[in-house]
Every structure is written in C-alpha cells, then in structure tokens.
Structure 1
Amino acid sequence: MKVFPFASGLLFGLGLCLAGMTDPQKVLGFLDIAGSWDPSLALVMGGALVVAFIAFRLAGRGPFAPAPTRLKRIDARLVGGAAVFGVGWGLVGLCPGPALADLGFLEPRALLFVLAMASGVRAADFLLAHARKGVAQQDG
C-alpha cells in the first residue's frame, strides 16, 4: 500500500512550499542574522517541532510503534555530516526536502543541488566502503 507514503510526501512538500522553505532567498534571509534578518522561518521550525513531538508521542503507541533508538555518541561522521548540511544550506539556501519539492517546479537551481547532493552521497558511500575494506584488511 503505497498511498500513505505518497500522501505523506505530498503533504510534506506542500507544507514546505506554503512555508516558504523552497525559496532560497527566504531561507538565506533567515540565516542572515547580521543583515536583514527574516525571523518568519523560526515560526515554521517551531510549528514543525510541535507536530513532530505529537507524532512521535503517538507513534510510541500501538502495533506500528518504532523501536526506540538513542544517539550513543557524537562521532566524526555525525559532526562532519551536520557541518556539510549546514554549509550547503547556508551557501545555497536549500536543504534536501525543499530541493526535492522544487524539482516539481522544474527549478534549475534545485536540479543542480539535487545532482550535487546525490553525487556527494555516492562519494561518501564509496569512501566509507573503501575505508571499511582497509580496516578489515588490517584486522585480518
């Protein structure tokens, strides 16, 4: 049954569009705290936190409750990934969700961003697999 994931993605994308998260200039205005700061996205983020809090509380009940997970430690992969995400968001004004939603508008900037993001993911997978293979050879 693929209707629910599709509907969820559609609702998420519409929410991003309505909130202005697909407009890189609005996002960059939010990140420009030293210039002409636009605080409106803080309300979007606050609303998302409320919705996520309620959803996670509800998901903790019933037969479809996800297994509880906790962050065990902060490592280089976590910090590096967060840094790359933040730098990309600050430079371009897009993050993965809004960039994918912008593809629906045939936005060339979003297409370039998504291609770069996909290339980065593939490069990271390759580098991590290569590093693991090297560690396994040293151990073996």
Structure 2
Amino acid sequence: MQIESKKVNVKRSAQDLCSYLSDVKNFEELMPENISKFEVLSEKSFVFALKGMPEIGLEVKEVEAPEKVVLGAISDKIPFQLTANINEIDEGNSEAELIFNGDFNPMMAMMIKGPITKFLETLTTNLEKLQ
C-alpha cells in the first residue's frame, strides 16, 4: 500500500530541511495535536502515539542528503516506511513530499488508509509552516 502526500513548499533550503528531518527530535513539532505520547529513544529513533491508536516506533533508515530521508518502523509487526522526498526550489525554499509504503493485508490496508492519509496531511501542513 502506498500513500503520497501533497507536495508542499517549505521556507528552508533542501539541505536545511534534510537535516531537520534527519533529527528525530524535530518530529514532535510536526505531529498532530491529538498526540498522546512522543519519546526520543535514541539519536535515530523515536516512538509516538496518537489518541486511540497503538504506539508506533520509527527510526531513520537512510539519508541521501539533501533530497531524501527514509524512516522505517522499528517493529516488524507493522512493516512500513515513511520517505520524505525533497527538491530544492532555490536557496531558501524547497518542496517536500511524504510517501508512506506499507506491506499490509487488504483488510488492514482498508482500515488504516484513512488515518494514515490524514496523518500525512498533518505532517505536510506542519512542514509548510516551518520558518
């Protein structure tokens, strides 16, 4: 299952945005308001939970500066990746798109597609607000 966010303009250079997304502490700033837990586990990993949802652990799997940051699930129970594709527009602006890729059975995919789509929309909206 693949879900793509809208592309948003961010008032940061591609390198700045890549560095920002590579630092897991910064994801707390991007999370939805209904977050019930956010905890940095290590320099490369964190866990979060939204109200009414199970905890999800993510870790930085790959960084191809300045155009890509790949986060992946810590647990094999729910295998997925969240990829941020970054394109430089000019010195102080870039374009970002988030892509969710998960390997789910059809029933699970149907249940989580809506919440994941909404989650990606929130992350990209908050990225757009970065200064």
> What is the TM-score of this pair, normalised by structure 2?
0.26
Higher strand content, 1 or 2: 2
> What is the TM-score of this pair, normalised by structure 1?
0.25
Q: Greater CA radius of gyration, 1 or 2? A: 1
